[in-house]
A and B are shown apart, each in its own frame.
Chain A
Amino acid sequence: MLTEVRSRNIRREPLPTRLRATLFPEGSASLWRYVALIFVILLAVLSLFPFYWALITSFKAPQDVATVPPSLVLTRPAITNYIDLIRGTGVANAPVVRWFLNSVLTSIAATAGVVLLASLAGYSFARKQFPFRDQIFWLIIATILVPGWSTIIATYVLTLNLGMHDTYWALILPGLASPFAVFLFRQFAVTLPEELFQAARIDGAGELQLWWLIALPMSRPVLATLAIFTFVAHWNDFLWPLLVLNKQTLYTLPVGVSVIMYQIQGAGPSYGIGMAAAILMSVLPILAFILMQRQMIEGITIGSLKG
């Protein structure tokens, strides 16, 4: 699996015919393939419809938002909802722009930290020999299966005792040691050719240089995957910031939006603001996804089919 991913990152090659499994055996009536296509399109429409609905609603004028019957197309586009959202309607002086920046800042910081720690540790687990290496690695991986709700209370108390609540640190530090990130990087680093490292050693490269000059540049695709997953996860995280933030100016965008939604009771015309908030929160993740679909989709496959 992993060697395949690597080679495809270098040049995209179609899978050999032998591997092309299909629902219908080769040579079966092509009519069935069209039936399949129609069903896929129907399912896609079904799963995307709510997002389409949110998108057009967010651009409706407030008086058009909650009409019966609703109009399924956008006739009079307006950005009133977005302006109301950014001005903080419903919550006095809600600093939506500040929340947006808080989210950007903490997500970037957390992503940089996760990638740094995971690439160092993943490289070591993949290419170094030391006692208890595999035991430590599997201990880290096993923690992925522990439900977040089981330990979040303790992390809450711990960060409270460390005085981190209502600071950016509470949003950045607890997520830095990501088992999934180490797993992903290690699985990739194992497949790098040993000859490169040998050659660099003969040229006199030190251990950190091996990591920085060989392992990291060679792992660019997996680093990109890792960065995008971490960024999106932090950007979308709602529960943890909700627990540790009380100061309004420090809210992340999701926490702020949830407060606005609570205060305006999200009914009738104010759904327009809610939809605008939902779209605003989704813009960056969707952009990231459009730019890096292939890495993300491959990342999911690596994560699940343990190499």
Chain B
Amino acid sequence: MNAINQISRVRRGRVQGRMTYTTVEKLWGYLLIAPFMVFFTIFVLVPYGMVIWLSFVDWHPRGVTAYVGLQNYMAVISTDVARKAMFNSFYFALLVVPISTALSLITAMLIVSLRNRGLRSFFQATFYLPGVISGLSVAIIWRFVFDYHVGILNFFLSLLGVEAVNWLGNIYTALPSLAGMAILSGNGVAIIIFCAALLSVPADLYHAAAVDGANFWRQQWSITLPLITPALLYVIVVSTLGALQVFVPVYVLTRGGPVYSTMTVGYYIYNQLIFYGNTGTAAAAGLLLLIVTIGLTIFQFRRFSQVVEF
């Protein structure tokens, strides 16, 4: 009895007033996170340090690793292919993020306006389904869809009297084709997030606005938009990150071609690492991507915090 009292007194130390941690509590706290922290340190934190080191050296698996200063960064910034890759990744993100965000938002609005709860769940599940299928499968399927001779896309266009387009073999259409694939097959998560956000907007607000004479568009602009801003921000940040790193569709559909027109940062890093063995340039390109994405994320947060105050 005495022992139990003692235990509960020790445990309750933080509950009763003084915010002090008992030694036992602290120890168990650290002990329970220790297994995770070991792997987190080795495979997440250590690589952060290593990638910075790798970007300043000429690394060899078996041999001398020499310090080369900013040479790797210069190699990335000054080569046309790397600059083209940066440009293409931005172009791709610029095509994909606004269109797929708008499309997901519209789809979610249509879904939540259905009255039947079962129907809403059904459509959420339907739109999410492609999201569980691997990017590799999706890309293989779309390679067939885009095929110049036997692809279904050109077949449908021929029904409309449009001449066959060599979607993946033309420098002007290759990257937009990849973007089109991303727009049509990657919306599941965004739709579910938007549905949850839209469903949490109190209907009272719409009633009140309607009484005040606000029309449909005014209601969407003044009520829906501000209230779903956190979800919108999340979706935009995450899909921008994903779009800037696009790799699998490039790998399966175009391998960076034709004439580097689909060379993206992800494919560039892969190429440098696997084909040329240039870990230095790959690391430098990766870090430049990191700097750009951090900047972009901060910019997006700033923009949105202005909208929220509105």
Chain A residues within 8 Å of B, Cβ to Cβ: 14-15, 17-26, 32-33, 36-37, 39-40, 43-44, 46-48, 50-51, 53-54, 57, 65-70, 116-118, 120-121, 123-125, 128-131, 133, 136, 140, 143, 145-158, 160, 173-177, 179, 182, 198, 201-202, 204, 207, 211, 232, 235-236, 238-239, 243, 254, 257-258, 261, 266-268, 271, 274-275, 277-279, 281-282, 285-286, 288-289, 293, 296-297, 300-301, 304-305
Contacts and interface: CB of A to CB of B under 8 A. Distances in A.
A271 B145 CA distance: 10
Contacts of B218: none
A289 B132 contact: yes
B39 A235 contact: no
Given A40-B114, A158-B50, A70 B248 contact: no
Contacts of A46: 184
A289 B124 contact: no
B11 A51 contact: no
Interface string B9-28: 00100100000010001101
A33 B115 contact: yes
Contacts of A238: 134-136, 248
A51 B252 contact: no
B32 to A, nearest CB: 4
11 contacts: A47-B185, A118-B36, A129-B26, A130-B30, A147-B289, A154-B46, A154-B49, A177-B44, A204-B4, A236-B135, A289-B129
Nearest to A57: B144
Given A146-B48, A282-B132, A304-B235, 4 more contacts: A39-B110, A40-B111, A47-B126, A177-B43
Interface string B37-51: 101101110111111
B37 A121 contact: yes
A68 B247 contact: no
A19 B203 contact: yes
Given A146-B290, A176-B39, A289-B129, A301 B193 contact: yes
A145 B293 CA distance: 9
B286 interface: yes
A47 B127 contact: yes
Nearest to A54: B141
Nearest to A37: B114
Given A21-B203, A120-B35, A153-B286, A243 B273 contact: yes
A37 B112 CA distance: 10
The 3 closest A-B pairs by CB, nearest first: A130-B29, A236-B134, A23-B113
A47 B130 contact: yes
B155 A69 contact: yes
Interface stretch (B90-98, B146-154, B170-178): B146-154
